[in-house]
């Protein structure tokens, strides 16, 4: 499966003539291209990630493709992206610059090394991506820019689904594990998961305080990760090292084998802020997200994709209702019931379909009914509010003689996460 996916992605990217199926677009007098390198689900049901090149010249397409491959290792090596890659479509947007050092988004580093903070013009970014996605016929859910700069850098709009990183070729940072892949994962943690930093501070006195952040607690008695704590057992805690102490990169951190507790130092505060586990990609000291950040990302996947669809088809003896899901294999549970209408035999049949785990039922109602199908992601990675990984889909059905419009028009969708 893994090899198959890699082959498909790179056959699509490289194509028979060295490039994929490019869609051309014009922006500010230049010609750019959109190349879809991973298509897992219909656009309506997928989380469409756009990886934008900035600062690459026309002759540097191969360099950008190599950088994009490093970004896409996310779907092989970093959870929960790898398990949920079936929800993602990935598109590359390439608009060359005329001169080396130029960027479309006016990217700059406002602070001296070692700060990795980058600034950019988000309106220019949305204008560029808008041109590209209209030409290619899809809407972007998540935008990630790779800037042709070697200096360590990354920044994100928290919860805003926009992030920017450099190529991150700084040898010192790469030696500490902070390569383009992990900086990408970290920035998507901010932009998609709404996560804050788990580091204790930076040299510039920034504060990442946010009372609604999923991954930082500002009150020991009330953490956002109560569902992960065993309050009957002694709480696992640790104190933050002295301010300024370097945080070593920890290889082999396994979130599932590590107790969840209260670890001091988070949200760029050394004191009075806690994180759930000692290590995390949001602390930039590990190659895995902690359980709390992983949970927030899975919930975000459900919010921004529509991982299930209900379709109907006229068949002999009635209407066939079918559920299709793009959740990880074996991870979806389907429950059917009668949401409206009085049809005891149909209610019993739906009950039997639920018991059998059926993805398809044929119904022939004698009167108007509403059939509901709830698709739940059974992932053990979400422990809090399970409703956030469920989606309810409904079909309103009328007997043929009474039907005014088509059944397709009668199909609706309610509940679950808000999509686009
Ligand atoms: Zn974390």
- CA–CA separation, 307 vs 298, rounded Å? 12
| pLDDT above 90 as % of the chain | 69
- CA–CA separation, 169 vs 413, rounded Å? 46
What are the sequence ranges of the domains in the chain? 2-191, 196-282, 306-414
Residue 121 has pLDDT above 90, yes or no: yes
Q: List pLDDT tens digits, range 267-305.
A: 888 888 999 999 999 998 999 999 999 999 999 999 999
Q: What is the pLDDT of residue 243?
A: 63
Tokens of 174: 């790469």
Q: List pLDDT tens digits, range 217-257.
A: 999 889 999 999 987 878 888 887 766 667 788 888 999 99
For residue 25, how far is its CA from the centre of ligand 1 (angstroms)? Answer: 38
Q: List pLDDT tens digits, range 354-378.
A: 999 999 999 998 899 999 999 999 9
For residue 369, how far is its CA from the centre of ligand 1 (angstroms)? Answer: 45
- CA–CA separation, 52 vs 59, rounded Å? 16
Q: What is the pLDDT of residue 413?
A: 47
The CA-based angle 239-241-243, given to 5 degrees, is 125
Residue 405 has pLDDT above 60, yes or no: no
- CA–CA separation, 14 vs 10, rounded Å? 6
Helices and strands, counts by H and E, the chain: 9, 17
Beta bridge partners of 321: 312, 361
- CA–CA separation, 168 vs 145, rounded Å? 13
Q: What is the pLDDT of residue 5?
A: 44
Strand order in the sheet with 308-315: 308-315, 318-325, 360-363
For residue 382, how far is its CA from the centre of ligand 1 (angstroms)? Answer: 14
Q: DSSP state, 369?
A: E
Q: What is the pLDDT of residue 4?
A: 42
Mean pLDDT of the chain: 88
Average pLDDT on 10-25 reads: 57
CA 177 distance to own-chain centroid: 22
Tokens of 240: 């933050």
For residue 407, how far is its CA from the centre of ligand 1 (angstroms)? Answer: 45
For residue 199, how far is its CA from the centre of ligand 1 (angstroms)? Answer: 10
CATH topology of domain 2-191: Collagenase (Catalytic Domain) (3.40.390)
Phi and psi for 265 in degrees, rounded to 5? 105, 100
Q: For domain 306-414, is the CATH number 1.10.8?
A: no
Beta bridge partners of 89: 39, 48
For residue 209, how far is its CA from the centre of ligand 1 (angstroms)? Answer: 15
2-191 and 306-414 share one CATH topology? no
For residue 307, how far is its CA from the centre of ligand 1 (angstroms)? Answer: 24
Q: What is the pLDDT of residue 321?
A: 97
Residue 9 has pLDDT above 50, yes or no: no
What one-character-per-residue DSSP string does 317-367 give?
Answer: TEEEEEEEE-SSTT-EEEEEEEEES--HHHHHHHHHHHHHT-SEEEE--SS
Least confident stretch, 180-184, 194-198, 210-214, 334-338? 210-214
Residue 318 has pLDDT above 70, yes or no: yes
Q: Which residue has the higher pLDDT, 115 or 190?
A: 190
Residue 409 has pLDDT above 60, yes or no: no
Look-up: residue for tokens 């932009």? 191
Residues 273 and 264: beta-carbon distance below 8 Å: yes
Residue 188 has pLDDT above 90, yes or no: yes
pLDDT band at 44 (very low <50, low <70, confident <90, very high): very high
């Amino acid at each position: 499966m893994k090899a198959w996916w890699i082959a498909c992605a790179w056959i699509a990217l490289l194509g028979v003539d060295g490039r994929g199926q490019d869609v051309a677009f014009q922006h500010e007098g230049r010609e750019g291209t959109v190349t879809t390198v991973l298509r897992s689900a219909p656009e309506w049901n997928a989380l469409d990630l756009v990886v934008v090149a900035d600062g690459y010249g026309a002759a540097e397409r191969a360099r950008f493709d190599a950088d994009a491959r490093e970004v896409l290792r996310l779907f092989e090596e970093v959870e929960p992206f790898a398990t949920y890659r079936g929800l993602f479509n990935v598109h590359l947007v390439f608009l060359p610059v005329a001169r080396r050092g130029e960027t479309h988004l006016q990217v700059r580093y406002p602070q001296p090394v070692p700060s990795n903070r980058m600034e950019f013009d988000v309106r220019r970014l949305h204008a560029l991506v808008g041109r590209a996605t209209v030409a290619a016929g899809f809407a972007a859910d998540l935008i990630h820019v790779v800037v042709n700069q070697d200096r360590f850098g990354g920044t994100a709009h928290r919860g805003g689904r926009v992030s920017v990183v450099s190529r991150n070729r700084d040898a010192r940072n790469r030696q500490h594990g902070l390569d383009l892949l992990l900086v990408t994962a970290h920035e998507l943690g901010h932009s998609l998961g709404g996560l804050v930093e788990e580091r204790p501070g930076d040299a510039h006195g920034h504060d990442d305080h946010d009372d609604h952040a999923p991954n930082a607690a500002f009150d020991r008695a009330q953490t956002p990760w109560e569902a992960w704590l065993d309050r009957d057992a002694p709480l696992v805690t640790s104190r933050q090292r002295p301010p300024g102490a370097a945080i070593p990169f920890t290889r082999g951190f396994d979130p599932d084998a590590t107790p969840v507790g209260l670890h001091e130092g988070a949200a760029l505060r050394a004191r009075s802020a806690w994180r759930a586990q000692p290590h995390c990609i949001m602390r930039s000291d590990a190659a895995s997200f902690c359980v709390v950040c992983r949970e927030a990302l899975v919930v975000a996947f459900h919010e921004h994709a529509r991982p299930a669809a209900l379709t109907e088809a006229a068949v002999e003896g009635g209407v066939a209702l079918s559920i299709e899901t793009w959740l990880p294999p074996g991870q979806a549970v389907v429950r059917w019931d009668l949401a409206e209408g009085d049809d005891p035999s149909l209610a019993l049949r739906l009950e039997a379909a639920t018991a059998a785990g059926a993805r398809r039922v044929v119904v022939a109602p004698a009167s108007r009914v509403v059939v509901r199908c709830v698709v739940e992601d059974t992932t053990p990675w979400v422990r809090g509010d399970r409703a956030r990984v469920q989606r309810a889909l409904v079909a309103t059905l009328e007997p043929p003689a009474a039907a005014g419009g088509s059944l397709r028009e009668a199909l609706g969708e309610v509940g679950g996460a808000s999509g686009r």
